[in-house]
Amino acid sequence: MSHLIRWLHLSDFHVGKDDYGQIMLFRHILKQVKSRVVNTRLDFVFITGDVAQSGTAAQYDLFLQDCLAPLQQLVGPECQVMIVPGNHDLDRTQAEFVSRDSIQNSLNFFDASELGRQKRQAVMPRFQAYHEKLPFPSPWLDTAQGCFVVRKTIRGVDIGILGLNTAWLAEGDDKAFLSPGKNLVEAGLAEIEGAHVRIVLGHHPIDWFSERIQSQIQALLGQANAIYLHGHLHQAKASLHSGAGELYLALQSGSAFQVREHDVWRNRMLWAALNVHEHTLEIDPFTWHAGHQEWALDGDAFPMRFHQNGYWVLPLPGERTFSSPVRNDSPLCIRPNQGEETFADEVIQLLNRGQLVVILSQSGRKVHVIKQKLLEVTSMLFDDAQVIQLSPALDPDISVDRYFQSLGKQAGFDACMDCIDWTDGFEAALSNGRAMVLLMSHFENGSDKARDLLAKALRQLWDKHNPRFKIVLFGGHELARQVYGAGDMSILNVAANRLMPELTFETLACMAGAKDVTDEEAQRILAVTGGHPLLVGECLGHIGRDYQAMLNQSALPSRLFVRFRRKKQDRDKICRWLQCDVLASFEHWPMDKVLRRLYWDNLLTERNQRFVWRCALIRQWGIQQLSGL
C-alpha cells in the first residue's frame, strides 16, 4: 500500500456562468479523475470556493447533479470531499443593507461562540443556498465554530484539516478588506494542534485580507506550519511564507472553469501527494489543452527548480515528523541483486580505505537498497558504529540557521541553533572513540550559502576524524553539478564519485511486491522501458498488460518532456537529436546544458561510451511532445 496521502484540489467552477461549457468541462474532469483513480487511491477532494457564479440554489443543484455526485461515485466513500465558499458563493440579493463596515464594528462577529454565531446571522441569508446545498463535510457555516475541523489518521499519519469562510466580508471590491476571523482561525487551529500535517482551506490568498488581520493570520499559519490551500486568482501557484518566525506553504489551484476551451485562458486542476517520510509535497498541475482535447501537464505552473522525476516537489514547512525508512512495499524498492550487491561492496571497500563517497543517480532511480545494504554492513564492519541519516531541507530560501537547526534535530542535537552548534554536536558524538557513518541524502538541497557551510563543516570533521568518520553523500542532477560543474566545494574535491547501476533483468526479477514477475515478463518490461524507473514502476502495477499501449495512455509522455517545451531553441535541438541513434560522446557532465539535462533526467543513457536514447518509446514520446510546437 502506498504511504502517500493523495488529494485533488479544485477551485472556482463558477457554475451559472456558461451552463453548456461547464457541463462539457465536468465531463472532461470526470474522465481525468476516472483514469487516475483506477490504480491510485485518493484520500481527499478539496474544493476551495466559487462553486457558483452568484450563489443560487439552482447553480448548486447543477453542480451537484453533473459534477459532485458522479465525482463522489468515482473516488469512493473512503475519499472525503471538503468544500469552502468563495466570494461568488454569496447571493448578493440577500441582506443587501448589511455593510462590511457595520460587521467590522461588531466586537463579537468573529468569536467562536454562540454569541458570535448569532452576530453572523446578519449575513447568513447570503450564504443560505450554499449552506443548505453543500454541507461538506457537514453543515458548518451556521455554527458557533464558524469553520469546520476534520481530524483523521490515514496510514499512520495524523491529518488535521481546517475549513474557513474567507468571504464573510465580501462585497465586490474586496482586496485588502477581507477576513476569515482571527478568533475563528485560532480556535480551529487549536483543535488540530499536534497533528502531523495541518491543512487549512480558504478561498482567498492571504494578501486579500485586511492589512490589520494579515500578519495575525500569517502568524497563526506559521506557528502551525500549515499548508494553506486556496483559489480565487485562477492560476496555479505555490509559495512559502513566514509568520511569527515560522513557515507555512500556500498552494493555489487554478480555475476549474474559467472559459470555454477556444478562449485564451486555461481551465486547471491540481493533483497532490503528501510524502511525510521525505517531508515533501508532490504536485501534478494539469490544464485543459483544447488542441489535443486532453488534460496536459501545466509546465508553466511552478518554477522548474522544483521539478523532479516528472513532478513538482515542494518542501513542507516545519520539521520532519517521520523518518525515511526503507519501504519494502514500494514497487521501486528492490531487494539487492548481484549487481547492487557488488556496487554496495565497492562502496564499503572505499569507506574501509578512509575514502569519502558520493553516489549519484539519474532521475527516478531509488537509493533505498544501497542505503539498506550500507546500514546492514557498516554496524558489523565498524564495531557497532553510530549511523546517522540526514536530509537537508529542500527549500532554497531557508535561512542558514534554520537549515542547520533542521539537520541538528535529525541528528538528535536538540540544542542545535546554527552551524557551530551542529559541528560541535558531531565533535561530541565522535569524542567517544566509536566510528560514525553519515548517510546524507539530497546534499544539494537548501541555499548556496547553507550548502557551502555544510561542505566546509563536513570537510573539517572528516579531516580530523578520518578514518573513524565515514561519509556517503547521495544526490542527483544538482549534486552532479557541484561535483563536475562547480568544483569549488572542498568536501566534494576529495570524494570518490560513483553512479548508481542501471536497473537490470536481474533487478526486475526480484522486485519486492512483484514476486510473480517471470523472467519472460521482466525481459518484456525492460525491452519496452529501457530500465527507466518511472516506466518500470508503472509496468509493475499492470503485470501482463500490453505495456507499450498502457504507457502511451498514461501521463508519462508529457510528464517526462514538460521541462523541454518552454524554449524553442531547446526544442529544436532535441528534435534534431531525436532523429539520431547516437547523440554524442559520453561524459558525466557534458558542456551542452540540454544534453546534460536529458541525461540526468534519465531520458538518455550510456552505451559504448556514447549518449543514446534510453528506449524507443521515450524517443517516440519526444517526437510527439516537441515536434510542431
CATH (domain of 19): 3.60.21.10
Q: Does residue 306 sit in the same domain as residue 360?
A: no
CB 605 within 8 A of CB 612: yes
Q: Is there a domain that residue 543 lies in?
A: no
Could you say which of 251, 280, 315 is where a domain stops?
A: 315
* pLDDT surpassing 60 at residue 267: yes
- Distance CA(526)–CA(505), nearest Å, equals 7
Helices vs. strands in the chain: H and E counts, helices first: 23, 22
Q: Are 481 and 487 in contact (CB under 8 A)?
A: no
Residues 165 and 198 in one domain: yes
Rounded CA separation 340/327 (Å)? 17
Residue 540 lies in a domain: no
Quick: pLDDT tens for 551-572: 998 888 888 998 898 889 999 9
Q: pLDDT confidence of 334, banded at 50, 70, 90?
A: very low
If asked whether residues 249 and 358 sit together in one domain, one would say no
Residue 327 lies in a domain: no
Domain count, the chain: 3
Comparison of pLDDT for 10 and 501, the residue scoring more: 10
Most confident listed range (20-29, 170-179, 541-550): 170-179
Q: Are residues 202 and 261 in the same domain?
A: yes
Greatest alpha-carbon pair distance for the chain in Å reads 81
DSSP bridge partners of 159: 152, 197
Amino acid at 143: T
How far, in Å, CA of 436 to CA of 399, rounded? 28
Other beta carbons less than 10 A from residue 597's beta carbon: 19
Kindly tell me if the per-residue pLDDT of 503 is higher than 90: no
Q: What angle do CA 278, 301, 40 make, to 5 degrees?
A: 50
540, containing H or E segment: helix 533-540
pLDDT tens, position by position, 298-333: 877 887 778 877 788 888 887 766 654 433 333 333
- 104 inside domain: yes
Amino acid at 474: F
**Model pLDDT, residue 69:** 96
For residue 321, being part of any structural domain is answered with no
Q: Most confidently modeled of 19-33, 143-157, 224-238?
A: 143-157
Distance CA(404)–CA(416), nearest Å, equals: 7
Candidates 452, 492, 12; CA nearest to 232 is: 12
DSSP 307: E
Residues 214 and 353 in one domain: no
Which residues have a Cβ under 8 Å from the Cβ of 7 and sit 6 or more positions away?
A: 42, 43, 44, 45, 46, 271, 272, 274
- Give the span between the Cα atoms of 426 and 431, in whole angstroms: 8
Let me know: does 441 contact 324? Beta carbons within 8 Å.
yes
- Between β-strands 268-275 and 5-10, what pairing exists: parallel, antiparallel or unpaired? antiparallel
Residue 88 is assigned to a structural domain of this protein: yes
* pLDDT beyond 70 at 126: yes
Asked if residue 269 and residue 351 are part of one domain, the reply reads no
Other Cβ atoms less than 10 A from the Cβ of 335: the count is 14
Residue identified by cell 526479477 is: 509
* Rounded average pLDDT over 239-261: 76
Q: Is the pLDDT of residue 145 over 50?
A: yes
pLDDT at 382: 65
Q: What is the pLDDT of residue 327?
A: 37
Quick one: pLDDT at residue 512? 44
CATH number at residue 405: 3.40.50.300
Averaged pLDDT score across all residues of the chain: 87
The average pLDDT across 589-597 equals 94
Full-model pTM? 0.82
Separation between Cα atoms, residue 557 and residue 555, nearest integer Å: 6
> Which pLDDT belongs to residue 542?
83
* Predicted pLDDT at 506: 67
Mean pLDDT within 254-281:
75
Domain co-membership, 20 together with 131: yes
Q: What is the DSSP string of 331-391?
A: TT-B---HHHHHHHHHHHHHHHTT-EEEEE--TT---HHHHHHHHHHHHHHTTS-EEEEE-
Q: Three-class SS of residue 18?
A: coil
State the residue range of the domain holding 99: 5-315
pLDDT above 80 (res 369): no
| Residue at which a domain ends, from 257, 280, 315 | 315
Smallest CA-to-CA distance from 402 within 455, 358, 458, 445 is with 445
Phi, psi of 176 (to 5 degrees): 70, 20
Q: Note whether 345 and 284 are same-domain residues.
A: no
Q: By C-alpha distance, which of 449, 353, 439 is closest to 396?
A: 449
The pLDDT, as a whole number, for residue 463 is 93
Q: End-to-end distance of the chain based on CA atoms, in angstroms?
A: 39
Tell me, yes or no, whether 211 and 308 share the same domain: yes
Closest CA to 566 of 626, 481, 628: 626
The backbone region for 293, taken as left when phi is positive above 0, alpha when psi lies in -120 to 50, beta otherwise, is left
Q: Which residues contact 564 (CB under 8 A, 6 or more apart)?
A: 570, 571, 574, 594, 597, 598, 625, 626
Q: Residues 530-550: what's their mean pLDDT? A: 89
pLDDT exceeds cutoff 80 at 234: no
20 and 95: one domain? yes
| 8-state DSSP, 207 | G
Compute the distance between CA of residue 482 and CA of residue 603 in angstroms, rounded to an integer. 21
Has residue 20 been placed in a domain?
yes
pLDDT tens digits, one per residue of 392-445: 888 777 889 989 998 998 898 888 999 999 999 999 989 888 888 999 988 888
Taking only the tens place, the pLDDT of each residue in 424-438 is 999 998 988 888 899
Say if CB 284 and CB 293 are below 8 A apart: no
- Residue 549 domain flag: no
Single residue among 499, 525, 544 that ends a domain in this structure:
499
- The CA distances from residue 423 to 124, 398, 554, 588, in Å, are 58, 19, 47, 32
Q: What is the mean pLDDT of residues 65-94?
A: 96
Q: Judge if 307 and 343 occupy the same domain.
A: no
pLDDT tens, residue by residue, 42-64: 999 999 999 999 999 999 999 99
* 626 & 480 share domain: no
Sign of the Cα torsion 505, 509, 514, 520 reads: positive
